[in-house]
Amino acid sequence: MLVLKEVNVKNFPLVFKFAPACAVVLSLFSSPVIAANVVLKNGDRLTGEIVKLSDNILTFKSPLFGEVELPWKQVLELQSDDGVTVKLKDGSTAKGKVTLSQQGELVIDQGDLGRSRPLQRADVAMFNPPVVDRSVKYSGRANLGGVFNRGNSEDDALNFDTEFIARTPENRYTVAAEVNEAE
């Protein structure tokens, strides 16, 4: 007959006493792994992060291979867990989780905004396009000079000039003024 022994809790190692509490705390501070999956036409699968799509080259960062450049035509399936900015050939952009099916349909899940209508692979111009700074940059200068002599000769001179420049990515606007006064 099998008899179970009673275990003395006082001699139980501390590691086992607090193991359930440690497991709960660790699970609260852990985060899910965010990754993108790419399936190529030859059946190869890559897991990592979408860096960009430009000139029909998908740049993909894999923890094992580093940055890999893949021809966009060779990508059969694509799924991202994190947000990707998609720029279409008509100039519009959207940000969300991207899914490319084997049929060549791309769907962008924008979270609370919903899912986009299925787009064709040929409609996509770029993933994560470079950010264009559309802000106006201002600069300017002002100079003031003068000569005042009251000795043997009486000289008075005053010079003032200023310039203000506003720059946009397409244009530059300049306003300048100059005043010269002399006696």
Going from N- to C-terminal start, the domains of the chain cover: 36-127, 137-182
pLDDT of residue 33: 54
Q: Across-strand partners of 94?
A: 86
pTM: 0.56
pLDDT band at residue 163, thresholds of 50, 70 and 90? very high
pLDDT of residue 24: 65
CB–CB of 30/22 below 8 Å?
no
Alpha-carbon gap, residue 19 to 182, rounded angstroms: 90
Q: Please give the radius of gyration of the chain, using alpha carbons only, rounded to the nearest integer.
A: 33
* Burial grade of 129 (CB within 10 A; 0-12, 13-18, 19 or more): middle
CB–CB of 127/50 below 8 Å?
yes
Q: In CATH, what number does 36-127 get? A: 2.30.30
Q: What does the DSSP 8-state code read for residue 8? A: P
CB–CB of 125/106 below 8 Å?
no
141: closest CA among 155, 160, 113, 115?
Answer: 160
> What's the pLDDT tens digit per position in 55-106?
989 999 988 889 999 999 999 999 998 888 889 888 888 888 998 888 888 8
Cα atoms in the 13 Å half-sphere on the side-chain side of 12:
10
CB–CB of 36/80 below 8 Å?
yes
